[in-house]
């Protein structure tokens, strides 16, 4: 089977990356993670290093301005010629260079049922609003903040004793298989 190349961008612990890597180890998987790029020395890079997948750190602070960083990030991704770019806990907005190079082939996860609670604090915002159901979304990335086409969603009940951390952990447990499913579908379709 010819597996399609995927580049994953991370900022944190890499739990979504780990789920993608675990799924890629099955014989029928239509994708292969060919590189992992982070915007900081993220702990999740260890998942890639353990799997002997190339990693790269592109820190915003290493560039004179945001435009230069956007170009460097795009170059780091482009080096691996991915079919799909997956933002898996990547906590920076991507700029026009990456969108121009890979538009329609960049996906992201979000810990809320979009269009509700976009932005960096989806879990906190859902709790503050008092909703009884929240969840996660996988979207196609566009120039907005969590405004892209919704590719898949899963619901998660909000429990009376939920904290931001407990709810986020339960959302992650649903988000990981959802992300793997979407990446499988998008790469199986070629």
Sorted by sequence, the CB contacts under 8 Å of residue 90 that are 6+ apart come out as 9, 10, 11, 38, 39, 108
Q: Are 180 and 16 in contact (CB under 8 A)?
A: no
For 29, which DSSP code?
A: -
Sorted by sequence, the CB contacts under 8 Å of residue 21 that are 6+ apart come out as 33, 47, 48, 51, 53
Q: Are 40 and 10 in contact (CB under 8 A)?
A: no
The DSSP string of 31-81 is EEEEEEEESS--TTHHHHHHTT--EEE--GGGSSSHHHHHHHHHHHHHTT-
**For the chain, how many structural domains are there in total?**
1
CATH of the domain at 130: 3.40.50.170
Rounded to an integer, what distance in angstroms lies between the CA atom of residue 111 and that of residue 83? 24
Element (H, E) at 179: helix 164-188
- The pTM for the full model equals 0.96
Query: What length is written for the chain?
Result: 190
pLDDT on residue 1: 64
Domain span at residue 137 reads 4-188
φ/ψ bin of 152: left (φ > 0), alpha (ψ from -120 to 50), beta (otherwise): beta
Q: What is the pLDDT along the chain (190 residues), one digit of tens a residue?
A: 689 999 999 999 999 999 999 999 999 999 999 999 999 999 999 999 999 999 999 999 999 999 999 999 999 999 999 999 999 999 999 999 999 999 999 999 999 999 999 999 999 999 999 999 999 999 999 999 999 999 999 999 999 999 999 999 999 999 999 999 999 999 997 7
Residues with catalytic roles: 110
Sorted by sequence, the CB contacts under 8 Å of residue 18 that are 6+ apart come out as 44, 47
């Amino acid at each position: 089977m010819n597996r399609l190349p995927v580049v994953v961008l991370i900022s944190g612990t890499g739990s979504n990356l780990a789920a993608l890597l675990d799924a890629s180890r099955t014989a029928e998987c239509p994708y292969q993670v060919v590189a992992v790029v982070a915007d900081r020395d993220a702990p999740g890079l260890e998942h890639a290093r353990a799997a002997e997948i190339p990693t790269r750190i592109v820190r915003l602070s290493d560039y004179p301005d945001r435009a230069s960083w956007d170009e460097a990030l795009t170059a780091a991704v482009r080096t691996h010629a991915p079919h799909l770019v997956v933002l898996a806990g990547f906590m920076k907005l991507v700029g026009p260079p990456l969108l121009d190079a890979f538009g329609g082939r960049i996906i992201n996860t979000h810990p809320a049922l979009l269009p509700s609670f976009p932005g960096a604090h989806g879990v906190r915002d859902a709790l503050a609003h008092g909703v009884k159901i929240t969840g996660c979304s996988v979207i196609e990335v566009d120039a907005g903040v969590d405004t892209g086409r919704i590719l898949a969603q899963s619901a998660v009940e909000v429990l009376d004793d939920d904290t931001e951390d407990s709810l986020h952990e339960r959302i992650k447990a649903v988000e990981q298989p959802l992300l793997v499913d979407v990446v499988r579908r998008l790469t199986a379709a070629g």
